[in-house]
């Protein structure tokens, strides 16, 4: 599936930020979901093969680097001048041209309002291979992204959940944090799945950021970014 934008305009009059998970770069206040990377000019967030520079972060802490993050701020475009040309026509290495910059590139405020409960309901449905519950929890627009793999749509997600190998002993979460913005919200943390495969008990861990939208009074999963450990 072609990488795409999930941009949720949450309320009139700009009352809430736009949540962005794709290659588009709308100006203004956004919450950006992507992978934490370090670059020559400082910390960046990579989404759909493009990067946004974190204006106030020289680098990511070691525990965040390479994992999924959600950061908030105002998105602007800065123009980097061409690097200087030497007397023999040589050019210094360096950035040139426009780049997207998010400031302050901070963690959004914590606000739950049922988001963590929705995440735990998703864990329970995955553990039970409960197709009815997963149908209810997965939004029609669902996109699941694992870096280095093609995006997965709702139908493929439901099929993969039903085909999980072995016996699922449980699915739970660690370090869960919720951030609500109007009729959308985000839960981040670590998903821990315990399975019995070929007589052995194994533990599967992945850091994630899940984006939920509110439909008919209930939270539904609209985007998921997972990085296996």
Of 53, 72, 106, the residue at which a domain comes to its end is: 106
Give me the residue label for tokens 């770069």. 25
**HEC-encoded secondary structure of 131-148:** HHHHHHHEEEEEEEECCC
Given this model, what pLDDT does residue 6 score? 46
Of 92, 91, 103, 84, the C-alpha closest to 42 is 103
Given this model, what pLDDT does residue 149 score? 94
Given this model, what pLDDT does residue 4 score? 38
* Predicted structure pTM score: 0.87
Strand order across the 200-215 sheet: 152-153, 138-145, 218-228, 200-215, 184-197, 167-181
Same domain, 144 and 210: yes
Q: Which residue has the higher pLDDT, 9 or 140?
A: 140
Strand positions, DSSP E, 5-132: 18-20, 28-39, 42-47, 50-54, 68-80, 97-106
Provide the number of structural domains found in the chain: 2
Percent of the chain with pLDDT over 90: 72
CA angle 176, 116, 10 (to 5 degrees): 110
Of 71, 106, 141, the residue at which a domain comes to its end is: 106
Given this model, what pLDDT does residue 26 score? 82
Q: Which domain holds residue 184?
A: 115-228
| 139 pLDDT above the threshold of 90 | yes
Given this model, what pLDDT does residue 8 score? 45
Same domain, 132 and 96: no
Same domain, 141 and 41: no
Same domain, 100 and 120: no
Q: What is the CA radius of gyration of the chain?
A: 19
Least confident of 21-30, 119-128, 216-225: 21-30
Same domain, 134 and 222: yes
Of 211, 195, 182, the C-alpha closest to 119 is 211
Same domain, 128 and 171: yes
Structure tokens, 149: 């793999």
- C-alpha separations of 218 from 35, 139, 211, 214 in Å: 28, 11, 13, 5
5: in domain: no
Q: Identify the burial level of 219 via C-beta atoms within 10 angstroms of its C-beta, where 0-12 means exposed, 13-18 middle and 19 or more buried.
A: buried
Structure tokens, 8: 């949720």
> CA 43 to CA 140: how far, in whole Å?
33
Cβ(185)–Cβ(119) under 8 Å?
no
Structure tokens, 157: 């997600």
Same domain, 202 and 123: yes
Given this model, what pLDDT does residue 208 score? 98
CATH number of the CATH domain containing 120 = 3.10.450.50
Which pLDDT tens digit goes with each residue over 19-72? 999 888 787 889 999 999 999 889 999 998 899 999 889 999 999 999 999 999
In this structure, how many other beta carbons lie within 10 angstroms of the beta carbon of residue 43?
25
Same domain, 16 and 72: yes
According to DSSP H, which parts of 40-186 are helical?
115-128, 131-137, 154-162
Of 60, 78, 106, the residue at which a domain comes to its end is: 106
């Amino acid at each position: 599936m072609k990488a795409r934008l999930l941009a949720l305009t949450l309320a009139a009059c700009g009352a809430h930020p736009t949540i962005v998970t794709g290659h588009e770069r709308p100006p203004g206040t956004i919450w950006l979901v992507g992978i934490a990377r370090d670059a020559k000019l400082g910390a960046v967030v990579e989404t759909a093969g493009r990067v946004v520079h974190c204006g106030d972060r020289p680098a990511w802490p070691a525990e965040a680097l390479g994992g999924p993050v959600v950061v908030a701020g105002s998105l602007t475009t800065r123009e980097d001048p061409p690097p200087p040309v030497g007397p023999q026509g040589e050019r210094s290495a360096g950035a040139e041209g426009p780049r997207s910059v998010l400031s302050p590139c901070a963690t959004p405020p914590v606000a739950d309002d049922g988001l963590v409960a929705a995440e735990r309901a998703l864990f329970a449905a995955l553990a039970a291979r409960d197709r009815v519950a997963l149908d209810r929890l997965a939004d029609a627009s669902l996109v699941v992204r694992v870096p280095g793999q093609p995006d997965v749509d709702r139908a493929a997600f439901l099929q993969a959940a039903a085909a999980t190998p072995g016996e699922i002993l449980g699915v739970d979460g660690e370090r869960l944090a919720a951030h609500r913005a109007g009729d959308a919200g985000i839960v981040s943390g670590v998903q821990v799945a315990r399975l019995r495969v070929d007589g052995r008990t194994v533990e599967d861990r992945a850091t994630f950021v899940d984006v939920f939208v509110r439909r008919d009074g209930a939270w539904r999963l609209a985007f998921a970014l997972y990085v296996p450990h």
